[in-house]
Amino acid sequence: MSLQPSCPCGSGASYDACCGRLHRGAALAGTPEELMRSRYAAYAVGDLDHVFRTWHPRTRPDDLAPDPGLTWTGLEILGSGADWVEFVASYERDGAPGQLHEHSLFEQRGGRWVYVSARP
């Protein structure tokens, strides 16, 4: 039995062995789904640097500010392909539950996967 916290992305692995590797720069995402999971987990643990670093410079905001009223509570991957991931991310905002359903698009840039945008 492990005392390590499980990864917020819901993989069942420990945070350290899962998205934590990507957050601390010890590994790169091999697929859009892996990057998507790591970005969700980064929001969940408050690692906004990772969110920023993995966002395409063309589409990313100038600044990412933490949202103290928001708690991410779960991720479900509905499907993924060569350059997209469809997911539902659950959250609580000021105690009220909500869900974000998005079909995200990704690109490879300099050999690394980056998030581009939600599909319109």
Query: Rounded to whole angstroms, how far apart are CA atoms 76 and 120?
Result: 20
CB 62 → Zn ion: shortest distance, Å? 27
CB 108 → Zn ion: shortest distance, Å? 20
Site for Zn ion in 37-76 (CB under 5 A): 37, 41
- In the bound state with Zn ion, the residue whose beta carbon lies nearer, of 9 and 114, is 9
Running DSSP on this structure, what letter comes out for residue 6? B
Is the dihedral angle over the CA atoms 98, 39, 104, 64 positive or is it negative?
Answer: positive
HSE toward the beta carbon, residue 5, CA cutoff 13 A = 9
The yes or no reply on residue 19 touching Zn ion (CB under 5 A) is yes
| Sites of contact with Zn ion (CB under 5 A) | 7, 9, 11, 18-19, 37, 41
